[in-house]
Amino acid sequence: MSDIEEASDTLAEVNLDDTLKPLTENLESDPNSSLKDIVVTIGATVPTGFELTAADEVKEKLGSQSKISKDRGKIYFEISLEKLSQVHRLRSVDNLFVIVQEFTDYQFKETKEDTLKDLEDLVKKLPWTDPLKVWKLNTNLKKKKTKHKKQNQQSSASKEKLNDDGGKDRANQKDADKELLDHAQNTPDLKSAEQNTEKTQEIIVADDQSDGKDEFLTITGNENQAGDCKKGEAEDQVLKFRVTCNRAGDKHSFTSNDAARDFGGAVQDYFQWKADMTNFDVEVLLNIHNNEVVVGIALTEESLHRRNITHFGPTTLRSTLAYGMLRLCDPQPTDIIIDPMSGTGAIPIEGATEWPSCYHIAGDNNPQAVKRAANNICSLLKKNQNKESGTSWGIPIDTIQWDICNLPLRTSSVDVIVTDMPFGKRIGSKKKNWDLYPACLMEMSRICRPGTGRAVLLTQDRKCFAKALSKMGHLWQKGHTVWVNVGGLHAAVYLLKRTLERAGEKRSYW
Amino acid sequence: MKLLTHNMLTSHVRGVRPGGGFPLRIQATEVKVNNVDFNQEFVARMIPKVEWGALLEAAESLGHLSDLPHQLPPEYENNEDFLRKVHHVLLEVEVMEGILKCPDSGREFPITKGIPNMLLSEEEET
């Protein structure tokens, strides 16, 4: 059976449950299907509460409609394989995976033993072929980016360390990987993907700089050895894998560990892969939420949520959350967007990266925070610098040290305010918030442009915020509220619109 | 600190007359010039948001006035030559070290490594 025919067969199986509501895409592939015609379902984890924002971004950047899972914080959408590299351009997603199969109403057996046996048996019945193709393609795309990155960056001690670690298994794998790489480079359909790697490059590079040191070691290890292995003869790939299981629901007779272990055992028997909890190639995901079971393969190695940040502070916001908040206020070109309590600058930096036609200002009263923000901006500048020769490039962002209760800004000079307000837990205190929040809202209303201005504010201290806001109905009109989960705390993101009324000046600058 | 930012900054020391804290006078000891992608529309739409006189004054104090006119030329939106010059002073010139001085009170705010420190002491706060 030819590769294509095999793909066609399994494709019929892969998609889709009725509930997934397939798009206009034609799922009956003909024998001459190419990457363009193979449609896969991608799952993405997003900050809880921002599912709609993420779906919006998917629509905008990939043209696909999304389904939002009942299991909060996940969305699903379909794309044709040729668009795969573009999913890495999504800024509102933390992790991506390709769906192997989704069961919307899985019937679990009565006993634990039976249930687990069932899951084991499931392995050989699943349509692995296409999802694995996606995984392979994705891995190749990442390798290309790594090659780019390696040419641009200085070597570090960690790379040298890994050179010594070459084991027999890794050597085999590298040969196979190199083969895949060669194969991939010969595939014409990847041309469009290649054009995108330039843009997507920055995601991997940022990951590298962030706390994902392990990933850096893994990636560069691959690259080094692939480069060194001149002969690529090994045909079989001894892949390493692990199974990650997330389980939620009251009526299950088993734990996520049970499921991961047994499912993993069956996967190992079926594929003859090697199980490895830390240095894996393939991460199989088993997500169980009541009666909804989703089997997937991870496409991201570590969460994308810490991109752009190299210097962390005590409360650094996830970049995906920062992106979601910025998107909520619908930035327009030339909007002046400030974060008056920016900490390490997560929000303005995300803003400057994604909305470069706006102008971003980060401000904080804390000298360490200001320093960290400046360092993060420096890292971002260096990253941009790599592509050019010598000249230093700028980005539309500035940092200032100031006091939010007394902002040194002209009245009505700012279009958008986006900030993560002190929860009163890691920073400040609930007691301080009673004075701080009203003062903040007041000062923010002064600098914000009446009529068109808006603010997006994240806080966990909802009571205090509601009270402070209730006294300012004449200046701030409450819009949409998004309920989110930040580090285990139930928080809210408030969208406020600045009314036409001019702020009463207790001190008039202008 | 870019000049676009400077254009929004004002002194907020207690006792300063309304409007007296703007614009802050720049005394720069270190200035950096970057390359920033020119976006014609961005510059054209930003001009109405800035205080033109203050921008010229700031550019001049840094020696980057070049030949920017005192009055905005009519239909500047399509004048690429002019807009490129504005782009240069707004986004490409950065004060790395120096002082911002309040024109009314004389209070000095330091700029270190490109970051102005606008914090006031308790007595100075309004």
Query: What's the start-to-end Cα distance of chain B, in Å?
Result: 25
Residue A91 in contact with residue A57, Cβ under 8 Å?
yes
Spatial separation of the C-alpha atoms in residues A385 and A128, rounded to whole Å: 41
How far, rounded to the nearest angstrom, does the alpha carbon of residue A219 sit from its chain's CA centroid? 18
What's the confidence (pLDDT) of residue A269?
93
CA distance B119 to chain A (A): 5
CB contact under 8 A, A509 and B91: no
Residues in A closer than 8 angstroms to B39, CB to CB, are 357
Spatial separation of the C-alpha atoms in residues A343 and A269, rounded to whole Å: 50
In DSSP terms, which residues pair with B111 in a beta bridge? Answer: B98, B116
How far, in Å, are A37, A55, A358 from residue A90 at the CA level?
Answer: 22, 10, 19
Question: Which residue among B4, B10, B119 places its CB closest to the CB of A401?
Answer: B119
What's the confidence (pLDDT) of residue B64?
85
CB contact under 8 A, B115 and A359: no
How far, in Å, are A213, A475, B1 from residue B8 at the CA level?
Answer: 40, 21, 11
Spatial separation of the C-alpha atoms in residues A242 and A285, rounded to whole Å: 9
Residue A210 in contact with residue A307, Cβ under 8 Å?
yes
Q: Which residues contact A377 (CB under 8 A, 6 or more apart)?
A: A345, A349, A362, A395, A397, A399
CB contact under 8 A, B49 and A413: yes
Q: Give the chain A residue nearest B24 (alpha carbons).
A: A408
* pLDDT tens for the 510 residues of chain A, in order: 455 444 444 444 443 443 333 333 333 444 445 667 788 899 999 988 899 999 999 999 999 999 988 778 899 999 988 888 899 889 999 889 999 999 989 999 889 999 999 999 999 999 999 899 899 999 888 877 766 655 544 433 333 333 333 333 333 334 433 433 333 333 333 333 333 333 333 333 333 333 333 333 333 333 333 333 333 334 456 899 999 998 888 888 999 999 999 999 999 999 999 999 888 899 999 999 888 899 999 998 765 555 666 666 666 788 899 999 999 999 999 999 999 999 999 999 999 999 999 999 999 999 999 999 999 998 888 877 665 555 566 789 999 999 999 999 999 999 999 999 987 777 777 788 888 999 999 999 999 999 999 999 999 889 999 999 999 999 999 998 999 888 778 899 999 999 999 876 554 443
* Of A426, A443, A422, residue with least CA distance to A434: A422
Q: Which residues contact A70 (CB under 8 A, 6 or more apart)?
A: A289, A290, A292
CB contact under 8 A, B34 and A510: no
Q: Which residues contact A489 (CB under 8 A, 6 or more apart)?
A: A423, A425, A460
* Lookup: tokens for A65: 């409609």
User: Could you tell me how many residues make up chain A?
Assistant: 510
CA angle A90, A219, A205 (to 5 degrees): 45
DSSP helix, strand, coil percent of chain A (3-state; round to 5): 45, 20, 35
Residue A385 in contact with residue A393, Cβ under 8 Å?
yes
Pairing of strands A397-401, A359-364: parallel
One-letter amino acid for residue A121 of the chain: D
Q: What's the pTM value of the predicted model, to 2 decimals?
A: 0.75
Phi and psi at B68, nearest 5°, equal -70, 135
What's the confidence (pLDDT) of residue B24?
94
Residues in B closer than 8 angstroms to A402, CB to CB, are 118-119
Residues in B closer than 8 angstroms to A507, CB to CB, are 12, 14, 18, 126
Question: How confident is the model over B8-65, as pLDDT tens digits?
Answer: 999 988 888 888 889 999 999 999 998 888 889 999 999 999 999 999 999 999 988 8
CB contact under 8 A, A408 and B36: no
Question: Which residue among A357, A399, A408 places its CB closest to the CB of B12?
Answer: A408
Residue A447 in contact with residue A502, Cβ under 8 Å?
no
* Lookup: tokens for A383: 């990253």
Q: Helices A367-385 and A346-354: crossing angle, nearest 10°? A: 30
* Of A425, A428, A440, A432, residue with least CA distance to A486: A425
Strand, helix or coil for residue A334: coil
